[in-house]
Amino acid sequence: MKLLSNAAATGSAVDWYGGPGSLFVRGTWDGATAKLQASPDGGTTWIDVPTDAANSSPLALTANGIANFQLGPCKLRGAISGAGGSTSLTADVV
Protein backbone atom coordinates (compact mmCIF):
# COMPACT_ATOMS: atom_id res chain seq x y z
CA MET A 1 0.00 0.00 0.00
CA LYS A 2 1.30 3.42 -0.94
CA LEU A 3 1.61 5.88 2.00
CA LEU A 4 3.68 8.61 0.35
CA SER A 5 4.55 9.37 -3.27
CA ASN A 6 7.29 11.95 -3.90
CA ALA A 7 6.11 13.75 -0.77
CA ALA A 8 7.50 16.32 1.65
CA ALA A 9 4.50 16.32 4.02
CA THR A 10 2.22 13.89 5.85
CA GLY A 11 0.33 11.50 3.59
CA SER A 12 -3.25 10.30 3.42
CA ALA A 13 -4.59 7.47 5.57
CA VAL A 14 -4.95 3.87 4.38
CA ASP A 15 -6.70 0.93 6.05
CA TRP A 16 -4.47 -1.66 7.74
CA TYR A 17 -6.22 -4.96 8.42
CA GLY A 18 -3.83 -5.99 11.19
CA GLY A 19 -0.80 -8.22 11.52
CA PRO A 20 2.92 -7.89 10.83
CA GLY A 21 4.08 -5.39 8.24
CA SER A 22 7.10 -3.64 6.79
CA LEU A 23 7.53 0.06 6.04
CA PHE A 24 9.76 0.85 3.04
CA VAL A 25 10.88 4.48 2.63
CA ARG A 26 13.14 5.85 -0.10
CA GLY A 27 13.92 9.10 -1.84
CA THR A 28 15.66 12.42 -1.25
CA TRP A 29 15.73 13.13 2.49
CA ASP A 30 17.32 16.59 2.88
CA GLY A 31 17.17 16.36 6.69
CA ALA A 32 13.67 14.86 6.92
CA THR A 33 12.43 12.18 9.30
CA ALA A 34 9.69 9.75 8.24
CA LYS A 35 7.48 8.09 10.85
CA LEU A 36 4.68 5.56 10.65
CA GLN A 37 1.54 6.70 12.47
CA ALA A 38 -1.58 4.70 13.37
CA SER A 39 -5.10 5.81 14.20
CA PRO A 40 -7.38 3.53 16.24
CA ASP A 41 -10.39 5.83 15.79
CA GLY A 42 -10.74 6.31 12.05
CA GLY A 43 -8.28 9.18 11.67
CA THR A 44 -9.21 11.50 14.55
CA THR A 45 -6.19 10.69 16.71
CA TRP A 46 -2.74 9.82 15.31
CA ILE A 47 -0.11 7.97 17.36
CA ASP A 48 3.52 7.27 16.38
CA VAL A 49 4.00 3.52 15.90
CA PRO A 50 6.68 2.30 18.35
CA THR A 51 9.75 0.28 17.42
CA ASP A 52 9.00 -2.44 19.96
CA ALA A 53 6.46 -3.77 22.45
CA ALA A 54 7.98 -1.62 25.23
CA ASN A 55 6.96 1.53 23.27
CA SER A 56 10.45 2.87 23.91
CA SER A 57 10.75 5.07 20.82
CA PRO A 58 8.82 5.80 17.62
CA LEU A 59 9.54 3.91 14.43
CA ALA A 60 11.41 6.59 12.45
CA LEU A 61 13.74 6.61 9.45
CA THR A 62 16.17 9.33 8.35
CA ALA A 63 17.60 7.50 5.31
CA ASN A 64 16.41 4.91 2.79
CA GLY A 65 15.41 1.81 4.69
CA ILE A 66 12.92 -0.75 5.95
CA ALA A 67 11.31 -1.03 9.38
CA ASN A 68 9.04 -3.80 10.64
CA PHE A 69 5.93 -3.40 12.79
CA GLN A 70 3.01 -5.38 14.24
CA LEU A 71 -0.41 -3.74 14.65
CA GLY A 72 -4.05 -4.61 14.98
CA PRO A 73 -6.62 -3.19 12.54
CA CYS A 74 -6.28 0.61 12.21
CA LYS A 75 -5.60 3.41 9.77
CA LEU A 76 -1.96 4.10 8.83
CA ARG A 77 -0.19 7.11 7.38
CA GLY A 78 3.34 8.23 6.71
CA ALA A 79 4.33 11.42 8.53
CA ILE A 80 7.29 13.59 7.51
CA SER A 81 8.94 16.17 9.75
CA GLY A 82 11.97 18.40 9.24
CA ALA A 83 11.65 18.37 5.46
CA GLY A 84 14.12 20.46 3.49
CA GLY A 85 13.58 22.17 0.17
CA SER A 86 14.48 19.08 -1.86
CA THR A 87 12.75 16.43 0.32
CA SER A 88 10.85 13.95 -1.85
CA LEU A 89 9.98 10.63 -0.18
CA THR A 90 8.04 7.56 -1.26
CA ALA A 91 6.75 5.11 1.36
CA ASP A 92 4.96 1.78 1.08
CA VAL A 93 3.72 -0.76 3.62
CA VAL A 94 3.43 -4.47 2.93
- Using only C-alpha atoms, the chain has a radius of gyration, in whole angstroms, of 12
The predicted-structure confidence for 15-40, as pLDDT tens digits, reads as follows 999 999 999 999 999 999 999 999 99
In which residue ranges of the chain is pLDDT below 50? none
* 90 falls within a domain: no
| Alpha carbon 51 to chain centroid, angstroms | 12
SS3 of 18-74: the string is CEEEEEEEEEECCCCEEEEEEECCCCCCCEECECCCCCCCECEECCCEEEEEEECCE
How many domains, in total, are found in the chain? 1
* 91 falls within a domain: no
What is the value of pTM for the model shown?
0.91
> Which pLDDT belongs to residue 9?
87
Print the domain residue range for 60. Answer: 2-84
